[in-house]
Amino acid sequence: MPVLCIIPSSLRLRKPPRRLMLAVVLVFVTSCAWAKGPDPSQTIPLAPLGFQPLSSQFLLAGSSMETVDFVDARHLLVTYSTKRLLRRLPDCPPGDQDRVIEAVLLEIPSGKLLARTEWRVHDRGQYLWNLGHGRFLLRIRDALATFAPVANLSKGNAFYEKGFIRTDRRIGGLILSPDADLLIVETLEPLKGDAPIEEAKQDETPVQINFFRLTPQGEDEIGIVPTGALRARAPGRIPANAAGFLSAVDQGRQHWGFSFQSFSGKVKELAAFDSTCRPSAMLVSRSEFVAFGCHATSTPQIIGGFNLRGEEMWEQSMTESYVSPMFVFASGAGRFALSRVLTHSAAVDADAFTQEQFDGQAITVYQTDSGRQLLRVDATPISRAGQNFALSPDGLRLAVLQNDTVAIYGLPALTSKEREAVQMAEAAAPQIDGDPALALREKGTGAMTAPTADVLPSGMEAAPGASSVNQGPIAPAADAAPASNSQGSGQTVGDAPPEQRRKRPTLYNPGEKREDGSHAPE
């Protein structure tokens, strides 16, 4: 973080003695040399909890090895891989990479350990997502469950899991909208041994994309409503929320136009963006987004802030070369944090990651409406998976995993102008209605129906080892809570009348052949 060194006015003498002047210069130089960025307002040591240093090989490759999340204003959830012997499971496929994840629930500011548990996961991909409102999504191989650690703490089982989504397919990507109101699950054919089953090799659209609207219910439940499915060529990012999705249209002469299409079919044209490469957009709230673009290069070093009122709010340059941009959000405070892994050059060897290729991990907190940078810190060690930092729901604290501690940094309170901007953003949020799968299918065969990593400009690649995305989820299990509200499309969702038997949630398309030879109901 840049530091401005100011000489106190009491030392500004009209004719300072030579010895005093030398002393002032030395103070000026050494003070600037010692300034290495902001100090945290609080640190919580993890070593007493059994935390062990993590392998830089896996962290640099993008493996999901550690996470930190605010459960609420007074609790942190921290997870990390541990080193221990594992009992061999007879049904584990030969390609599994089993490891144990330790999860601890901590009280802040005391750092007191309130609860802990262990999960055995079977790969290096992302296993945890924050659903907001104190709820979390856990992936163990291709099964998803939810838990609410603070809500269940008083019941004596903080990490009680509820089945959420069931699938016999293989999860290839999970995408969660900024407000956790839309879950996109991308699945592929299951593996047979070490390779996909033979039939999948002939399928031009092997990826099935399922959409689910999510709503918090009760103390520890998330209501889930399936809203359709479609097929695509490969997993990828879709900039969408529960109301609609963003798209960019090439208008020629390095000029791009953004539009937001609601799932009910309404299209709103938004502000334009000049870029020498195809811009990549990311929603940061229900009515605001940022876009990465290029100026005279193929590297996305321009970032702009936009809203659904059709305004470009700001635009900034980022001079460093970087990979693996990752986001966390505090949309209720009109803030987001962006992590970038800085590199010494624009070209990074994707097959041989070494510490020498990287120049640190910079985490910057922005005010969404103005682009004001509230804080910039460097994380140590570098984690390309980008789950080593979190914003509190009120946007007033940033937590970062620094070696074997959690460092918590204070952020300035919102100004009256910023609070007004948050209210305007909430008022501009579009209505939630329509069918996501139908709207995207009607869009055509472009990037929205077949999202692929090559749509993203250089430096915007999906995190390796994290299921091809930087945030995400899956689909409903038999005991998952259905959402009980109307979605405004004339169709009431929620519990079916007693005389109607609810169909078991599934990720198969209607009529599609299951692995056991049966067919999904029409």
List the domain boundaries for the chain: 59-84+93-455
Closest CA to 49 of 73, 71, 66: 66
DSSP helix/strand/coil, 344: coil
Position 219 scores a pLDDT of: 85
Position 226 scores a pLDDT of: 93
Query: What architecture does CATH give domain 59-84+93-455?
Result: 7 Propeller (2.130)
Position 507 scores a pLDDT of: 52
The Cβ-side half-sphere exposure at 91, using a 13 Å CA radius, reads 1
B/e letters for 307-346, b = 16+ CB within 10 Å, e = fewer, are bbeeeebbbeebeebbbbbbbbbbbebbbbbbbbbbbeee
Beta carbons within 8 Å of 491's beta carbon, 6+ residues apart: none
Amino acid at 31: S
Beta carbons within 8 Å of 143's beta carbon, 6+ residues apart: 163, 165, 166, 167, 474, 477
Question: Do β-strands 481-482 and 221-232 pair in parallel, antiparallel, or remain unpaired?
Answer: parallel
Q: How far apart are CA 90 and CA 331, in angstroms?
A: 45
Q: In whole angstroms, what separates CA 457 from the centre of its chain? A: 18
Quote the tokens at residue 241: 């929320």
The helix or strand, by DSSP H or E, that contains position 22, with its residue range, turns out to be: helix 18-34
What's the 3-state SS for 76-118? EEEEEEECCCCCCCCCCCCCCCCEEEEEEEEECCCCCEEEEEE
The helix or strand, by DSSP H or E, that contains position 425, with its residue range, turns out to be: helix 416-427
Amino acid at 479: D
Check if the beta carbon of residue 122 is closer than 8 Å to that of residue 381. no
Position 14 scores a pLDDT of: 38
Q: In whole angstroms, what separates CA 203 from the centre of its chain? A: 30
Quote the tokens at residue 384: 């390309």
Polymer length in residues for the chain: 522
Position 194 scores a pLDDT of: 53
Q: Per-block average pLDDT, block size 10, for the chain (522 residues)?
A: 33 41 38 57 95 86 93 97 82 82 96 97 94 96 95 95 92 94 93 57 83 91 92 88 94 94 94 94 97 86 96 94 93 96 78 78 97 96 94 97 97 97 96 88 44 27 29 46 45 33 44 52 51
